[in-house]
A and B are shown apart, each in its own frame.
Chain A
């Protein structure tokens, strides 16, 4: 495969059109607003806006969608800091130190640090994406069904290990997702499974309405039932721009977290929420100020924010090169590509290189706009969060309905949304995370169809998974993910005894 630098530069020509910048800026702006609104996740924001991009050329639609993506992932931190309600799941860890800072009257400082860390994390991920993605794309074409089995298996095993909260509950939620994913005509033999003579279920339960229901609708139901969140906090914002000295002091934290963010983002099925939690966890292990974490220190805000924005570029790597979504957000983004008649995967790099490089440049521009808007608009955004819930919740519910219907003009999907919302509400009330449900639903069918395809190609020989080197490597990584942490635990306990 030829991937020359010239082809890369060809993507630049799209940016001669000022509309590209306008779309990007508009996307970042909308993304931050939606991301900051509690209950409107980045995933939902993108899902809701994709239908509006139908008539727009692919490059411009992606400038907009990537702006949304960066903006929403960042925007979630603002509400996490100000009212301790993460605007998106990926901002959960940001609230650990952000909210205490806010209570100490340092909300402006916290938002400033979160903005700078997000910007640097995002920048890091763009660089990795631009330089490593073509390399990964060139080996991606060597992937056959066996390798997809390995890579989806890693994704599934990650659910087991780092789902927030209880591992057992995470596993149970993941299994629920896998079960939902079984519905539909089976991907190889077309045998109807759990379709109840309903043609709408032949392709399986639509992922996006389930996602919007589990995250958005259930969050609204929780806020309605949980009346103590009605309290609206107003905060004075000062010193939004942190000093250079402070930023330099945070560089090790940001760098560490960015690496974590890109890697976890690139692993299918992980994504920003897990990346930010892991980064916070690492900070707790390695930072000089680890004992102060949780009391309201800058490191505690910078680590998760750098990680979740770094995961944006990371998650685009498997999406663009393999056609596998890195997280639910990119799963929705992938839908946006397919709608434009572009199939993500190795073929995209072969056939649409200028478009691919325009994606990298769009992401870079969105990171820059995000940083500028974040610093300039912090005061204004905080006012949005103070919107009374009696206006906010109905508005968000309306967006959930529109978003679900628009995906395939189907009333059936509205039903899926409502059922998913109620199930998600029940799960969350019972302490189950909903992310593994979504990931199980997405990864299960991929795992199944590729495993069965592999066995058809090998004429039923299971050794095909071990004799192909890349497939073997993936299986070993999955094994390490599953067995590694308990082994380290044993090792560390042994150390302490000495």
Chain B
């Protein structure tokens, strides 16, 4: 009896080994855990939107997509880790505008050219938002006042050199005004500052100001998107009001440089299906994001635009984020 057991056990182990071997031969990507490195902390914007997509991919591919947060240095730590990871397709990561802007702030910064972009999943337009009791009823009012009183109007942003600061500087340049930029820790603190009336206005993107616009505490004077937002049809775009600026933050997936093109295509296709899923759509819209799917080439253009915007600020306007 014992011998029989040993034989059966041995056979089953052999069979198992063969089974694995055959699977490996015919393996399709991905056939094991895929790690998604998020360079920002748990509960942050990128984390919130990446987790449901990761869950969707997990169900779709039937392998775990393990989300790993590597926060630090405004995304520098995690972004560098993505760059330096194995390019076998089993480590991917997320990116936002901060990955590009970090080079102007941090002594050691990631380089987006060391990665392969996969797909953009959301965009969030910058806004011009004031308190409901503000005297400014339109963007023109605000610009007229700012022109008459240079450097007087205070605007809260999410940190020196962060995307909101960059957008504010772009707005300053395009509208021909001078503002007093007050940096806060993150989007939430910058919005709280406006709510408390500590600053005159903010340009924090739509998802974070939307709840207060809905509750009647904030008034949105302009959206920096190309077209009006379906939920806020009465809010004009900046372009409509004569300020030529389309700007906002974005988030998407990328992989280390040299990840096989075949794998990038598989992931791009799957992420596209995920974004098209009504459940994911509902979630993202509910969280205030604008779901946007842009594949590898299109996403590259968006990142290039962001780079161009920064180059313009730094090289044309001679702007320095670090004043030493």
Contacts and interface: CB of A to CB of B under 8 A. Distances in A.
Interface of A: 54, 141-145, 185, 187-192, 195, 197-203, 338-343, 345-347, 351, 408-410, 449, 453, 456-457, 459
A190 B321 CA distance: 7
The 9 closest A-B pairs by CB, nearest first: A202-B73, A341-B43, A190-B160, A144-B198, A199-B76, A199-B73, A190-B105, A199-B77, A339-B42
Interface string B63-93: 0000011111110110010000000000000
A408 B159 contact: no
B76 A54 contact: no
B192 A345 contact: yes
Contacts of B105: 185, 190
A190 B199 contact: no
B160 A189 contact: yes
15 contacts: A54-B42, A185-B105, A187-B183, A190-B106, A190-B322, A191-B322, A199-B76, A203-B74, A346-B196, A408-B41, A408-B70, A409-B69, A449-B185, A457-B154, A457-B198
A199 B80 CA distance: 9
B205 interface: no
A409 B40 CA distance: 12
B107 A200 contact: no
Chain B, interface SS category: loop
Contacts of A346: 192, 196
User: What class of interface size applies to chain B in its complex with A?
Assistant: 35 or more
A459 B41 contact: no
Contacts of A203: 71-74
Interface in B178-235: 180-185, 188, 192-193, 195-196, 198-199, 211
B161 A190 contact: yes
Contacts of A345: 192
Contact of A459 (B76, B159, B180, B199): B180
A377 to B, nearest CB: 34
Given A141-B195, A199-B72, A192 B107 contact: yes
A447 to B, nearest CB: 14
A191 B105 CA distance: 8
Chain A, interface SS category: loop
B198 A341 contact: no
Contacts of B106: 185, 190, 192, 199, 202
A198 B181 CA distance: 28
B109 to A, nearest CB: 8
A135 to B, nearest CB: 17
Contacts of B321: 190
A341 B208 CA distance: 13
Nearest to A342: B43
Contacts of B154: 457
A449 B182 CA distance: 11
Contacts of A351: 211
A409 B211 CA distance: 33
B192 A453 contact: no
Contacts of B182: 453, 456-457
B48 interface: yes
Given A190-B105, A339-B43, A202 B183 contact: no
B285 interface: no
Nearest to B192: A347
Contacts of B262: none
A345 to B, nearest CB: 7
Contacts of A195: 107
B323 interface: yes
Contacts of A141: 195-196
Contacts of B24: none
A202 B159 contact: no
Contacts of B195: 141, 347
B196 A142 contact: yes
A175 B159 CA distance: 26
Contact of A347 (B70, B74, B185, B188): B188
A190 B192 CA distance: 21
A344 to B, nearest CB: 11
B73 A185 contact: yes
